[in-house]
């Protein structure tokens, strides 16, 4: 009793030590796994932060550009207004009394010509109060055209806006389209006009929006290039043709952005243009040279469209730069975890040594008890009603009872593989078919369990012989799917096969479906008897078998009706195959009845549209063609083509 108590306490002590060591080890292991997870979280955080930064930079530049455009437009408005106001002050102060209106107008028009020559960037034009163009800004051929023609050129509303200056002391701004040069394309222009009452002329000048944009574009490009000159993260601008307009690497400006080989092999510019066309902005991945380097690295870039210039702006970062920073932080963190793990490992090793000592001591005390238990185990093992086999994890058979030997035959070691797996044809997860040495096939249900036997891990197999039940069950299944008279698969098998066939279709497989019906079969039964009729049905099955390929299938659909499925054939080839069967069937049937028996057929080719139909719908199409063949005199084939 005392010895048993000591042994019991020893087991509790060993269990506590093992549990502590295992928990300590698992804690360290999961801590290491958490470190890897934390690294991934850190990686995603850094990636999101940098993506947010570059997206903000692109948006800030885009907003700054719009602000600059508004600012320049406002400045240009002030400039062109000042030019007109200066002329107004000068010529409004001149005493023109006693001078004819015509001479006054010629004087002002000549002055405008002189101002144009002195200021090439400015073009003045003048309109009288009747809406007649007295001086054109770019083409003298327009001089003298009247209100109606001028309205047709620039729009009636624009002409009326100009004439409205007559009623306003301070003049008006207006926008319109006018060519830069003779016969040029009309471009958007903003102008300011003021009425010179002493001359009965409205004088105006302006600036083309294109020139304002060009000024802003040049200033913007220069500002971006200088600002990001020394930065690792930089903005670039490309036009829709892939030409580099802005880049801190001056050698790239003016060249085509042609770098290749993001992992799909797409040209970087094309990848960015795809985003621009689809959404106007977004992230894109590609490979490109690092700044001032020949090193090609994967890059993530945010691009945004500037549609009025037909360009896009972008900023990106290189993934390997991010990975280098992440790796640096991860190394520091892992070093700390490794030290913790090593300390825990030392404790675990000490515990394991102590545990080994305790187990060896206990083993000596319990060795005799194990031998006694072994005798009891062997007796129970041999008297079991199930076949029992103990196999090592390497496939060596340690024990097998008499029932297992009767099931697997005497050479039982041959039935297990090197991994302790029961060899044979596995029919399901726990069912196997085994061919014995004498050629007999056995069907077994089995369960496999892993356990510790004599301080080693082994498998124990529980075997049940189900050969008789399995064969009986499969014979019933075969009978359910085959016609007992002809041996052909029946309607149930047709339904099952067609579902599998439809699932395997790839759009390239050509299939012809045919319904056959023996002509005047009732007369055969009435004249020669049902026994001969049955022979005729079996004859058709035999003739088909002699002419068929391995992929062809003939099904007895019911009575004298059959369904034929031919793969990888077009309509004409299918007709040829059926005609060969029909001719051979006709010749051989004469030996049974003294006359040639024929059949009629309805054939359809299952194209992509028809394969969407259900089997009953397809058979209905075949049946309609079959009855057309019957109406047309029988012994023929009707198709859907």
Active centre residues (catalytic): 560
CA atoms within 13 A on the CB side of 231: 16
Alpha helices (runs of H) in 427-529, residue ranges in sequence order: 467-481, 491-504, 521-528
The two tokens of residue 541 are 């099955």
Q: Residue 565: which of 640, 615, 628 has the closest Cα?
A: 615
158-162: Cβ within 8 A, 24+ apart = 159/127, 159/131, 162/127, 162/193, 162/202, 162/204
In the block, tokens 């991994």 appear at 419
Partners of residue 463 on adjacent β-strands: 387, 446
Exposure string (b/e) for 520-553, b if CB count within 10 Å is 16 or more? ebeebbeebeeeebebbbebbbebbeebeeeebb
Alpha helices (runs of H) in 409-490, residue ranges in sequence order: 467-481
Q: Residue 553: which of 635, 622, 478, 487 has the closest Cα?
A: 487
User: How many C-beta atoms lie closer than 10 Å to residue 483's C-beta?
Assistant: 20
Strands (E), 197-276: 201-208, 235-239, 244-246
Strands (E), 77-132: 124-128
Task: Let me know: does 66 contact 328? Beta carbons within 8 Å.
Answer: no
Strands 311-318 and 387-392 turn out to be unpaired
Find all residues with CB under 8 Å of 308, minimum gap 6, and list them.
213
- What three-state secondary structure class fits 283? strand
Q: Residue 192: which of 78, 93, 269, 302 has the closest Cα?
A: 78
Alpha carbon distance 112, 276 (integer Å): 46
Four-CA torsion 153, 158, 164, 165, nearest 10 degrees: -80
């Amino acid at each position: 009793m005392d010895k048993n108590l000591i042994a019991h306490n020893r087991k509790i002590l060993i269990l506590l030590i093992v549990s502590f060591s295992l928990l300590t080890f698992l804690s360290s292991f999961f801590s290491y796994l958490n470190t890897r997870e934390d690294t991934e979280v850190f990686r995603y955080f850094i990636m999101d932060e940098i993506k947010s930064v570059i997206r903000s930079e692109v948006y800030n530049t885009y907003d700054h550009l719009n602000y600059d455009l508004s600012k320049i437009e406002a400045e240009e408005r002030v400039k062109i207004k000042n030019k007109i106001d200066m002329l107004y002050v000068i010529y409004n102060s001149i005493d023109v009394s006693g001078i004819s209106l015509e001479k006054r107008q010629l004087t002002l028009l000549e002055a405008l010509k002189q101002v144009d020559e002195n200021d090439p960037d400015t073009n003045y034009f003048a309109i009288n109060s009747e809406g007649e163009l007295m001086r054109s800004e770019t083409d003298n051929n327009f001089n003298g055209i009247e209100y109606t023609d001028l309205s047709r050129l620039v729009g009636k509303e624009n002409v009326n806006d100009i004439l409205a200056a007559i009623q306003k002391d301070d003049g008006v701004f207006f926008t319109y389209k006018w060519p830069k040069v003779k016969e040029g394309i009309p471009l958007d222009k903003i102008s300011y006009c003021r009425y010179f009452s002493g001359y009965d002329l409205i004088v105006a000048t302006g600036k083309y929006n294109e020139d304002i944009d060009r000024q802003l574009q040049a200033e913007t490009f220069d500002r971006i290039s200088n600002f990001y000159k020394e930065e690792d993260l930089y903005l670039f601008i490309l036009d829709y043709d892939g030409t580099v307009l802005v880049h801190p690497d001056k050698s790239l400006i003016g060249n085509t952005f042609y770098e290749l080989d993001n992992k799909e092999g797409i040209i970087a510019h094309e990848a960015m243009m795809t985003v621009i066309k689809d959404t106007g902005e977004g992230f894109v991945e590609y490979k490109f040279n690092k700044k001032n380097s020949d090193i090609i690295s994967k890059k993530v870039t945010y691009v945004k469209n500037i549609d009025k210039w037909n360009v896009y702006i972008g900023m990106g970062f290189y993934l390997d730069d991010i990975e280098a920073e992440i790796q640096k932080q991860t190394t520091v963190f892992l070093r700390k975890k490794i030290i913790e793990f090593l300390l825990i490992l030392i404790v675990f090793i000490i515990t394991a040594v102590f545990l080994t000592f305790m187990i060896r001591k206990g083993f000596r005390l319990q060795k005799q008890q194990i031998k006694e238990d072994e005798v009891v185990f062997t007796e129970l093992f041999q008297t079991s009603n199930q076949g029992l086999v103990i196999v090592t994890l390497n496939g060596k058979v340690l024990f097998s009872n008499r029932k297992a030997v009767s099931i697997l035959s005497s050479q039982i070691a041959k039935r297990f593989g090197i991994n302790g797996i029961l060899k044979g044809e596995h029919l399901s997860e726990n069912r196997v078919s085994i061919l014995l040495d004498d050629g007999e096939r056995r069907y077994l249900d089995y369960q496999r369990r892993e356990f510790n036997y004599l301080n080693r891990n082994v498998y124990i197999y529980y075997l049940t012989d189900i050969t008789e039940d399995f064969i009986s069950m499969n014979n019933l299944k075969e009978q359910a799917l085959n016609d007992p008279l002809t041996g052909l698969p029946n309607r149930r098998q047709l339904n099952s096969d067609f579902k599998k066939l439809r699932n395997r279709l790839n759009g390239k497989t050509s299939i012809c479906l045919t319904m056959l019906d023996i002509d005047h079969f009732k007369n055969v039964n009435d004249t020669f008897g049902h026994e001969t009729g049955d022979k005729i049905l079996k004859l058709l099955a035999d003739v088909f078998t002699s002419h068929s390929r391995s992929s062809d299938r003939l099904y007895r659909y019911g009575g004298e009706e059959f369904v034929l499925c031919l793969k990888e054939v077009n309509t004409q080839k299918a007709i040829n195959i059926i005609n060969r069967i029909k001719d051979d069937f006709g010749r051989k049937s004469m030996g049974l009845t003294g006359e040639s028996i024929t059949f009629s057929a309805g054939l359809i080719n299952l194209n992509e549209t028809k394969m969407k139909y259900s089997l009953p719908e397809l058979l209905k199409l075949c049946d309609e063609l079959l009855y057309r063949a019957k109406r047309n005199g029988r012994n023929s084939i009707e198709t859907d083509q």
